[in-house]
Every structure is written in structure tokens, then in C-alpha cells.
Amino acid sequence: MFDLTGKKAIVTGAGSGLGKGMATGLHNAGAEVVIIDINENARTAVQELGKEGAAVHYLQANLMDRQDLERVFAEAVHVLGGRLDILINNAGMHDRRSCLDLPIEDWDKVIELNITAVFHLCKLAGGVMIPQGRGKIINMASMLSFIGGFNATAYAVSKGGVAQLTKSLSNEWAMKGIQVNAIAPGYMNTSMNSDLLQDDVRLPQITSRIPSGRWGTPQDLEGIAVFLASEESNYITGVVIPVDGGYLAR
């Protein structure tokens, strides 16, 4: 049901962590994938994924540089033969400081990458997908799209914005054959949360609220990414889907 053979995909921030997990899911389902990442080490992920099956490509870019973003998007679409079926906007950052300790310059960085770059890439993708009459855009929201978090003002604002952007674009593009949805990961065992995973106070507090009894992994996002990228989700659009082990329902 969820065969993506022949589909063309871009996944940002997919050199490691959740992005790599979702790129792996798309690749294993048959899609040709372009991984965009600022980290040169992302080449390793491409080499691992590209050993068999559909092609996997790596393009390096700084998505906080708007000209570089436009350059890499055009290059990615060219690599994919001028077509784009799937865009996963995964690249993001967190600055875990209190409001009073967060310089405005660092606020700007979080907002630029987490929401402005997402808007920019969605807009560019729409320019390719709308003439095709089909396409899947998957944005990365967060638990902090629903709750305020702690020492997370810029991140929470950006992820709240991702949820609203997803709904707004869905309203504009659903009639054009484009489904725009978002995934909201729960607390995940990735490098972004390394400080929480080493916090003797916060770690047990968070874990005790997760009914599944564990933190998530990149593999936990493979299935939902493939589902939202497939034809089986054609009547699902404008939603933010938590993948959180039951955290929000607690």
C-alpha cells in the first residue's frame, strides 16, 4: 500500500537523527531521495542508504542563508530530474535558554531556520508541485506546537508557527492536489535533546509522563513519514500528527 517507487523526495537536515530516520523510510519504500544538510558528515548517511535500491544524493547548504536555500533547492530538483513529489522540512535548531538570557540575534537564528526557511521551501516546492497537480509536503512540528515548554521561547514560537503554516498552506493547496501535513515528535532520543537526557531532574519527570515508558527514536518516524508521503494519505491534509508515545494524552 505504501510503495513510493519512482517518487522524488527532498529531506532537509537528514544527515542524522529524525531526518535520517525519515529519509531511510522513504528510501526503503522506493523513493529517490536528496538529503540536504549543513553538516559534511551527512555524506556518511547517503553512503549507507545508497548501497542498494533507489538513488540517494547529498547536497550541502546553509538554510539560514536565503540565497543558499534557493540555490540548493533548484539543484535538488535538477538532480531529481525536474520533478518533486515529496518535501520533508526537518532541519531545525533549539536554543534552550530562558527568555532573559536569549539574545535577540539568537532568537533570529531559531526563527530563520525553524519557520522562515520552512515557509521558503514550501513556497518553492509549491511552485514545482502545483503545475504537476500533486505533491506531499511534510513539516516538522513539535510537542511545543501544543504546549509552551520550558526555556524554549524561540523554539516554541517557531514550532507553533509550523503548525499554523501547515494548516494555512493546506487550505490554499488542497484543491490543487497538494497535501500539507506536519509530524509532531514527542521526546526523542537524539542529539538535540542530549542536555535533557543527562538532566537528573528533568529526565525522570519527562519519562514518567510518557505512557509508552520510553523516549522515541528516529525509527519511530519512518512509518508516519512513509504514510504521509504515499497515495494512501491523499484525503489527509492540514493536520499535525503527534508521534509521542501518548505524551499529549496523559
Please give the Cα distance from 22 to 212 (Å, whole number).
Answer: 21
Rounded Cα–Cα distance for residues 147 and 9 (Å)? 31
Strands 135-140 and 178-185: parallel
The x, y and z cell numbers of residue 6, run together, are 519512482
The answer to whether the beta carbons of residues 53 and 7 sit under 8 Å apart is no
| Residue 71 Rama label (left phi>0; alpha psi -120 to 50; beta) | alpha
Residues with Cβ < 8 Å from 223, sequence gap 6 or more? 25
Please tell me which residue in 155, 187, 235, 247 is annotated as part of the active site.
Answer: 155
Q: What nine digits make up the cell of 92?
A: 531545525
247 is a catalytic site residue = no
Residue 225 one-letter amino acid: A
Distance CA 75, CA 93 (A): 24
In 3D space, the residue among 78, 62, 175, 69 whose CA is nearest the CA of residue 123 turns out to be 69
The residues assigned a catalytic role are 155
